[in-house]
Structure 1
Amino acid sequence: MSEETIKQLQKLAITKRLNFLLGSGTSVPAIPLMGTYKDIDGKSANEQLSERVQEVSKRLLMKDELAERDIYTVLDNYQKFIEGVVTILNLSNSRQIPKNVNIFTTNYDLYIEKATDQILKKYRLVFNDGASGYFDRYLDSSNYNRTVSYKGLNDNYINEIPSITLIKPHGSMNWEEHNENILIKNEVVENPVIVKPDGYEASTTFESNHFHEMLRIFQMELDKPQSVLFVIGFSFQDKHIAKMVKRAVQNPELMVYVFGYSDDDRQMFLENLGFENERSNFIILTPKNFDDCYTNRYTDVENGDEWFSFTLSNLTNILMRIKLGDLKDDET
Structure 2
Amino acid sequence: MDEEVLKQLRKLAITKQLNFLIGSGASVPAIPLMNYFKDTHEKSGNEQLAEKVQYISDKILSDKFYTECEIAEKNMYIVFEMYQKFIESIVSLVNLSNSRQTPKNVNIFTTNYDLFIEKATDQVLKKHRLVFNDGASGYFERYLDSSNYNHTVSYKGLNDNYINEIPSISLIKPHGSVNWEKRNANIMIKGEVVDNPVIVKPDGLESATTFENNHFHEMLRVFQLELDKPQSILFVIGFSFQDKHIAKMVRRAVQNPELMVYVFGYSDTDRQTYLNNLQYKSERPNFKILTPKNFDEHHKNEYYNAEKGENLYNFTLSNLTRILSGATLEDLKHGKA
How big is the alpha-carbon RMSD for the aligned residues of Structure 1 and Structure 2? 1.5
Counterpart selection for 1:96 from 94, 101, 105: 101
Moved more, 39-48 or 260-269: 39-48
TM-score using structure 1 length: 0.97
Residue by residue, what CA displacement relative to the aligned partner does 1:9-44 show, whole Å, maximum 9, x if unpaired?
101000000000000000000000001110124210
CA distance in 1, matches of 2:26, 2:40: 26
- Which amino acid in 1 is paired with 2:10? Q
Give 1:66 deviation, angstroms: 4.5
1:123-272 to structure 2, matched below 5 A, reads: 123-272=128-277
Match 2:302 to one of 297, 300, 321: 297
Measure the CA separation in 2 of the matches of 1:140 and 1:297.
Answer: 43
Segment of structure 1 superposing worse, 292-301 or 140-149: 292-301
Is it true that 1:25 corresponds to 2:30 in the alignment?
no
Question: In the aligned structure 1, how far is the partner of 2:151 from the partner of 2:327?
Answer: 26
1:181/1:294 Cα in 2 relative to 1: closer, same or farther (>3 Å)?
A: same
Distance 1:42 1:228, change over 3 A: same
Cα offset for 1:2?
A: 2.5
Please name the residue that 1:15 is paired with.
Answer: 15
Seq. identity, %:
72
Q: Give the secondary-structure state (helix, strand or coil) at the position aligned to 1:225.
A: coil
Compared with structure 1, are the counterparts of its residues 33 and 330 closer, same or farther at alpha carbon in structure 2 (3 Å cutoff)? closer
Residues 259, 284 of structure 1: 8 Å contact kept: yes
Matched residue of 1:274: which SS? coil
Aligned counterparts of 1:330 and 1:251: Cα–Cα separation in 2 = 22
Kept after mapping to 2: 8 A contact 1:294/1:314: yes
Gaps of 5+ in 1: none
| Structure 1 pair 302–186 and aligned structure 2 pair: CA distance change class (3 A) | closer
* Partner Cα distance (1:190, 1:282) in 2: 40
TM-score w.r.t. length of structure 2: 0.96
Letter in 2 for 1:55: Y
Please state how far the C-alpha of 1:193 moved relative to its aligned partner: 0.3
* AA in 1 matched with 2:265: G
Q: CA separation in 1, counterparts of 2:309 and 2:202?
A: 36
In 1, Cα distance between equivalents of 2:271 and 2:108: 23
Q: Where do 5+ consecutive residues of structure 2 fail to align? A: none
Q: Does 1:279 align with 2:284?
A: yes
C-alpha contact 1:15 1:331 (8 A) present in aligned 2:
no
